A and B are shown apart, each in its own frame.
Chain A
């Protein structure tokens, strides 16, 4: 199962990320993961939250530009070679990664990786075929 991620357009100016976190705080939205990609004059904040639909609505009302996209999440053991072993499966399944980011949490000794891949559906099928099931939001929260 893929996870729905929100990508938010941010101007590259002081106070802009603050505006976003203020909005999330005001709506009681909890972030699971956050990653920021930046160009010279703008950036994209990619977030995974506890309530994606409510968050999307709050962003729209707050005049933010945001987009939903599907990403894959996997848990890897927090030890040398953990990510490498996962990526070797991606490699074997010929999955192209557009970007990825990591966060720690849940169980100690575990890291979580979020992947945005070129063809989510195909990638999921290929990886499941290799015995790798991507996590749901619930699975991340429970772990």
Chain B
């Protein structure tokens, strides 16, 4: 039997959903107009006032927000509430050292945790379950979001955070964890490590996993389900829009339900900004209608997907989105961490290397590999292997502190990285997603 965390919301009629959306959108636009000068100016430039927004049908009159706006307004320029009303921040890994910092009031935290609680319940979580949260805790939203959701459902929550795989496996076995939350590549790695330890799916009590923060394929889902002996659920979100839980999969595993009482989705043509009809593939745009501290209106996610309003066999009525096919900009998600080529460039230049480099990403045994080829320069070269390795190590540490994950740094001879006309081919992503 299907369980819901908030059945009256999750299974509401289309009319009801649209009534909530319209009511909340009208209020949200008015609040933002009054409290966020940055967005008010954008509305004025577009010739729109709050009076023009009477219902969800008027959404397309409003200007878009993009990651560039977030950087322009960093850190406080898009806040809808004074800092004294805020209780938390989270942050992305950021580009060229400038991170997106998102603010939360207690109300924002509550609605986010509700969304995560819905995702957990859809994956079968009840008060009887032990949920191991193996997403990173800290500025990253993964750990905090699922942790909060797990508390709301009343599960026994194991705040493991990421890393130390053998201990993860020990806790799963010793504490009888039934649900695990982490990135899909980490789930795959857990499975691999279990095999090395001679453990099979029957040796662990897990029954379900909620995996997000990076793109993963249907093949990878099948593989994880088999090795861990679980049902694997996808979850989607962005720090700018709270974090994981903007949408989530139900038992049908046929797209992710967007929590429409909080997030209104649109699909647009990424080039023209034109709103596309149901079923068309394009860039996902989300309006958060009741987030207070960081109210995103028409936020361009850069994720390419499509929507369907068809009835789902699980009974939920909220719209479903397909797994994002890829990003419309150059951001990479490697082992669940956002990586921008421009960040790597910054580090290289700071360490005296040429900004000529190439990023190689692949997936070996379902774990992302991350290698950066860097051209050696005459200035950096010395006759001593030890000194060059020290430079490599310093560079690697600089990259870790900028990116949050460790790439393999390989030094190559000058002029061996192919130059191209105009935009350089910085990224070779061989992952099949």
Q: Point out residues on A near B: beta carbons under 8 Å.
A: 7, 9-11, 16, 37-39, 41-42, 44, 46, 63-67, 69, 98, 116
Contacts and interface: CB of A to CB of B under 8 A. Distances in A.
B123 to A, nearest CB: 42
B156 to A, nearest CB: 45
B413 A16 contact: yes
B385 A9 contact: no
Given A11-B412, A11-B416, A39-B388, A65 B383 contact: no
Of the listed residues B377, B384, B388, the one surrounded by the most CB atoms of chain A closer than 10 A to its CB is: B384
A101 to B, nearest CB: 13
A63 B383 contact: no
B384 A98 contact: yes
B378 interface: yes
A64 B413 contact: yes
A3 to B, nearest CB: 14
Given A7-B383, A41-B411, A44-B388, 4 more contacts: A11-B413, A16-B413, A41-B410, A67-B382
B47 interface: no
Contact of B414 (A65, A67, A116): A65
Contacts of B384: 98
Interface string B370-397: 0000001110011111001100000000
A7 to B, nearest CB: 4
B423 interface: no
Given A10-B413, A11-B416, A116-B383, A65 B389 contact: no
Contact of B378 (A37, A42, A46, A65): A65
A48 to B, nearest CB: 13
Interface residues of B, number: 17
Contacts of B388: 39, 42, 44
In the A-B complex, the 3 residue pairs with the smallest Cβ-Cβ separation, listed nearest first, are: A7-B383, A41-B410, A65-B381
Nearest to B378: A65
A46 B383 CA distance: 8
B376 A44 contact: no
Contacts of B415: 63
B412 A65 contact: no
B135 to A, nearest CB: 32
A44 B376 CA distance: 12
B383 A39 contact: no
Contacts of A46: 383
B411 A42 contact: yes
Given A65-B378, A65-B381, A69-B383, A9 B389 contact: no
Contacts of A69: 383
Contacts of A63: 413-415
B interface, over-half SS: loop
Contacts of A16: 413
Nearest to B382: A67
B203 to A, nearest CB: 36
B112 to A, nearest CB: 43
Nearest to B410: A41
Contacts of A44: 383, 385, 388
Contact of B381 (A37, A41, A67, A116): A67
Interface in B395-433: 410-416
A87 to B, nearest CB: 21
A7 B387 CA distance: 14
A117 to B, nearest CB: 12
16 contacts: A9-B381, A10-B413, A11-B412, A11-B413, A39-B385, A39-B388, A41-B410, A42-B376, A42-B388, A63-B414, A64-B413, A65-B377, A65-B413, A67-B383, A69-B383, A116-B383
B35 to A, nearest CB: 53
A39 B383 CA distance: 12
Contacts of A11: 411-413, 416
A139 B378 CA distance: 31
A42 B412 CA distance: 8
Interface in B265-293: none
Given A11-B413, A16-B413, A41-B411, A65 B376 contact: yes
A67 B385 CA distance: 13
Contacts of A64: 413
Interface in B140-162: none
Contacts of B376: 9, 42, 65
Contacts of B383: 7, 44, 46, 67, 69, 116
Interface string B349-381: 000000000000000000000000000111001
A44 B383 CA distance: 7
Contacts of A42: 376, 388, 410-411
A41 B388 CA distance: 11
